[in-house]
Chain A
Amino acid sequence: MMTQDSIDRTIDNRVSDQAAESTFKEVDDTDRAIPAIEFRNVTMIYDGRKVLNDLSFKVMKGETKIILGGSGCGKSTTIKLVLGLIKPDSGQILVEGEDITNYNENNMMKVRKKLGMIFQEGALFDSLSVYENVAFKLHEQGVPEEDVESEVRRMLRFVNLEDAIDKMPAELSGGMRRRVGIARALVGDPKIVMFDEPTAGLDPPTARTICELAMKLRDLEDVSSIFVTHEMNNLDYLTSEYAVVNEAGEVVFEKEGEKLCLINSKVLMMRNGEIIFSGTDETLRRAEDPYIHKFLRGH
């Protein structure tokens, strides 16, 4: 669907400037010690059943946490908790060090400004066009229309969907809806982004595009994220490649190797609402647990 060239072309200067900055800047701010997201002993009960059981983990600044796990193990529930769309039955949830567990809807709205969420099914507003969907946040903030338009076009270019700008959600394919959902979530450059199975049901090149997007956010824009997936090639991409800006100012993806070892992607594996693995992809692949074996190899 999208060739390497076209991806490069879609990146505008703003992105490359920031990229240059973040790649060569020395990482020394104490601020980074505070995790972007932290769960402390979170338990969530639905109809008397523990859907999440005593969940604790941290997502550090600039880190991508890949959450793996079978269907129904509580992945979507976890990221909905981060946004405060649902409240845990016990435990604490912190966003950038701020305890949001008992925040009411009003306070939550301020926290959500920092967060972007890509819903599993897209969750586009049916009654609004693609343009209005992506512009939703800006329209709500009363941004002047010229600025809205240029921002919407920039975001749609980012997901390679500028042609669909005037379409209604019902006219889009599943993958296009997902990408509009991504564009909508990334408006306003949130520092923390949640991806809920963004590649499920997409063809491999489109899935790859979405992974590249997540890598660009991680490596060039210092975004912290949770990336829920149960596709192994997503895991491979995200844990073995990184985005850099080359001399020509283009974004390219390089394999980790002698030059650099990726430390900003961690894996978390869940099963029945509990964490059964947490660590790097290398240790995951070496893990003895039969369930993990089966999950990674499919048999």
Chain B
Amino acid sequence: MNFIARFLFELQEMSLLAGRSARGIFKKPHYVPESIAQMDYIGVGSLTIIILTGFFTGGVLTLQTYQTLESYGAVDQLGYLVSISLVRELGPVLSALMVTGRVVSAISAELGSMVVSEQIDAMRALGTDPIRKLVAPRILALLVTLPLLTMISDVMGIVGGWAVSTFLYGLPSQMFLNSVRDGITTDDLIGGIIKPLFFAFLMGTIACHKGLKTEGGTVGVGRSTTSAVVMASIIVIIADFILARALQLILGTQT
């Protein structure tokens, strides 16, 4: 009971935070430089890990499925299989998890240490709303960059799959690429963009909420960082399932 009450309370607090930061994005003053700095940190800064994860995920998918497909005589479907798994599932989820590890932890640690060193209080005392100045730019930056990072990860995954099939198994390039092109539908691409938007919103809200709720000195910063990363990862995976089902119903795609 206590657990449920706490959960509902936290959910309410998070919704309030999300609402206030959403208002902060549209109302003046607009923190444009802050948002751009965050996009640079989150987006450009995460490129390397996103490229690497994408590439090797595509590679390993090919590695694991090639022989199975070959025994059914269906290697011409390899590109389809790899790209559909990437665009629909692995790209969005893995990118979100990687960004969670890198960015959600950083955001909650930064905001958490600002809380314990009274910098958040100082900001409020100086007449600036920390939600507009700190939270809104971070959530906005995640909303802009995560879909882009996901797309990059998808493309790199397909490149990885292609590289393994071509160089390891000697599959003709054209066969792989044709099945990628024929296999992917617009609905898949739309789903591939909608998911990271939801993830970004959830991750940003959780990271900022946990950071701002930090209590108890430096130990507290560690605690809130850990719980932000754990919570964001779990929520991403649960939300992925719900979104996948919702998209199936809305777009009418059947796998």
Contact = CB atoms under 8 A, between A and B. Distances in A.
Contacts of B10: none
B122 interface: yes
A295 B127 CA distance: 36
Nearest to A112: B127
A83 B125 contact: yes
Contacts of B128: 136-137, 140
Interface of B: 29, 113-114, 117-119, 121-129
Given A119-B118, A123-B122, A126-B117, 5 more contacts: A83-B125, A125-B122, A136-B128, A137-B127, A185-B125
A131 to B, nearest CB: 15
Nearest to B118: A123
A80 interface: yes
A117 B125 CA distance: 7
Contacts of A121: 117-118
A115 interface: yes
B34 to A, nearest CB: 11
A137 B126 contact: yes
Contacts of B113: 126
B121 A126 contact: no
B119 A112 contact: no
Nearest to A181: B122
Contacts of A142: 29
A160 B106 CA distance: 36
Interface string A108-140: 110011010101110111100000000011001
B125 A112 contact: yes
A110 to B, nearest CB: 8
A26 interface: no
Interface of A: 80, 83, 85, 105, 108-109, 112-113, 115, 117, 119-121, 123-126, 136-137, 140, 142, 184-185
B225 to A, nearest CB: 17
A119 B126 CA distance: 12
B137 to A, nearest CB: 13
Contact of A123 (B121, B127, B129): B121
Top 4 nearest A-B pairs (CB, nearest first) are A123-B122, A123-B118, A117-B125, A112-B127
Given A119-B122, A121-B117, A105 B129 contact: yes
Given A109-B127, A112-B124, A112-B127, A123 B29 contact: no
A137 B129 CA distance: 12
B126 A136 contact: yes
A125 B133 CA distance: 13
Contact of B126 (A80, A108, A126, A140): A140
Contacts of B126: 112, 136-137, 140, 184
A119 B125 CA distance: 10
Nearest to A111: B127
Nearest to B113: A126
**Residue of A83, A123, A136, A184 ringed by the most chain B CB atoms within 10 A:** A123
A142 B125 CA distance: 18
B109 to A, nearest CB: 12
B22 to A, nearest CB: 16
Contacts of A120: 118
Contacts of B125: 83, 85, 112, 115, 117, 119, 185
Contacts of B118: 119-121, 123
21 contacts: A85-B121, A105-B124, A105-B129, A109-B127, A109-B129, A112-B124, A112-B126, A123-B117, A123-B118, A123-B119, A125-B114, A125-B119, A125-B122, A126-B113, A126-B114, A136-B126, A140-B126, A140-B127, A140-B128, A142-B29, A185-B125
